[in-house]
Every structure is written in C-alpha cells, then in structure tokens.
Amino acid sequence: MPRPPLRDPKKDPRALLGRALKRLRLAAGITTQAAMAARLDGYGEDSVQKAETGYQLPTEDLVTRWLDACDTTDLDREIVADVYEHAREADPVIPPFAEPWLEVEPQAAIIHAWALDVMPGQFQTYDYAHAMFIKGGLDEDRAAARAAARVKRARILDGPDGTRFTAILYEPILDRMVGTPEIMIGQLEHLLALMDRPNVIIQVVREAGYFPGHNGQFQIASGRAIPATLNMITIRDQTTSDPVVVDEATVLFEQIRSYALNVASSRALIQEALPRWQSQQQ
C-alpha cells in the first residue's frame, strides 16, 4: 500500500495527533495498522494509516473507537482530546493533497472527470457538498467552509471561455442518497442545467456488469498554460503531473467512456431518477 508522505509533529498538529494515536496503539500491543483496523468496525487500514501519519484528520468517531480499542486511561483520553481539538482548529479548508490540483484547475482548458462514488466537485451544489462533509465527520463550521470552497470551483465553467468539461458518471451515484431526498433533487436538477451549457458534456455508465474504472474516481486537467495533471482518489488522494501516470489515466478515461450512454440517453436517465427522489420527500 502506498504510504502518505511523512509530516512533522512539531509543525503539523494532525501529525502530532497521529503520533499520539500510534503510540497508544503500540502500547496496547496492537503491532500493525492492519490489526488496528480489524478492531475498528467500519474503518480500514487506509484510515488507520492516514490518521497515524497526519495525512488526514480522523473523525471524532474514529478517535473514540481508537481510544476504546486501546483501553486507554482517563488521563490519556483527556490528553488526546486536547490534541484533537488543536488539530481540528488547525485543519485547513483546502486539504494539502488538493493544493496542486487547485493551482492548475483554474488554468485548465479541458477537464475530463470520472465520477464513481460522488458527483464531481465542480458539479456539486452547496447542499450536496455540505451533506458530504457532515457525513464525513466535520463539524458545522468546517463543513460549511469546505462546501463554500467547493462551490466556488464551478466558476471555471462560466463565461464564453469556460473550461470544456467532460464528466462520466457511474449510474449508482444518481440513486445514492447524500443528505436528503430534497438535496438529491436539487443536485440532479443542477446536473440537467449544466448539460445545457455548450462547454459541458455529461454521460452516464449504466450499472451492468464489469467495466474499467472500479478502482476509484479521478480527473485530468490539460491546457497550454499547465502540465497535464491527474487528481486521483483511490487508495489515497493524490495529485500528479507525471506524464506516464497521466497518460495511463487518459487511456483509462477513454476506456470508461466507451461504456457510457450518449448525452441524450444520459439526460433521460438523470431525468428518470428525479421522480424516484420526489417520491421519497416527506
């Protein structure tokens, strides 16, 4: 498994928290991250790795389960609670892994996106993004800040010189509830409105057997002013402009697209999903 980059506990409160969690794990006789993950119902080894390296701030739920699994003392719990609060206050609105992508995204002439699990960030409504962040364990203030930052990214689609954006969506995300039925209705209506823009193409891959792309979603940005850049969410979030990796992702995108419905049929499929959500409204 690729390892996230090391962070300095002296400079990064998330890394300080991660070091404390790792020490508690080892003191409890849990010698590997895999063994720790086995004790954390609903969390995988990847979550343990990201928490211990400080690569990603763990949710409060994960920290609580961690302390329970390590059978920590009341004093240790108080210390970890203080460190966790400090790490939360220092957690940036924009995650570090995303910073290189957000530098090239506004300069991209073309973006190709494969959306396996959730809507592409540039297409998300505020309510959809906010509900995602709340579900991910963020408090209201941090969720609101991140959702607002995400919605601003859609500005690249505006105007006569807006980025040419082609998105391939996996059909199940049309029926996977994020937040409430009302939020899903608003999100699907937003997709349909985006499809009216000349610079936006949205196609859907039906859920029907095997096709390439199950390893995770990704986006590729290109243009004269930037190196072709890949933003990938698989085993871990990462951004790279390595030409070999970007070329491989470009080939994969075209393979996925060969399984997609045309634009008209994709629009019809999105429209068909709306009544299903409307029927679930309170």
pLDDT given at position 58: 86
3-state SS, residue 282? coil
Report the DSSP beta bridge partners of residue 239: 231
Q: What is the mean pLDDT of each run of 10 residues along the chain (282 residues)?
A: 61 90 96 94 85 85 93 94 85 70 92 95 96 84 88 93 97 95 97 97 91 88 94 73 93 95 98 96 80
How many degrees, rounded to 5, is the angle at CA 271 between CA 267 and CA 274? 150
Contact 178, 120 (CB under 8 A): no
pLDDT given at position 2: 45
pLDDT given at position 235: 46
For residue 250, give the H/E element and its range: helix 243-257
3-state SS, residue 125? coil
| Structural domains present in the chain | 13-90 (1.10.260.40), 96-278 (3.30.870)
pLDDT given at position 96: 67
- Of 280, 282, 274, 279, which Cα lies nearest the Cα of 186? 274
pLDDT given at position 1: 39
CB neighbour class for 87 (10 Å; exposed up to 12, middle 13-18, buried from 19) = buried
3-state SS, residue 20? helix
How is the beta sheet containing 164-170 ordered, strand by strand?
Answer: 200-205, 164-170, 110-115, 217-223, 226-233, 237-240
Cα(113)–Cα(270) distance, integer angstroms: 17
Which position has the token pair 């300095």? 8
pLDDT given at position 183: 97
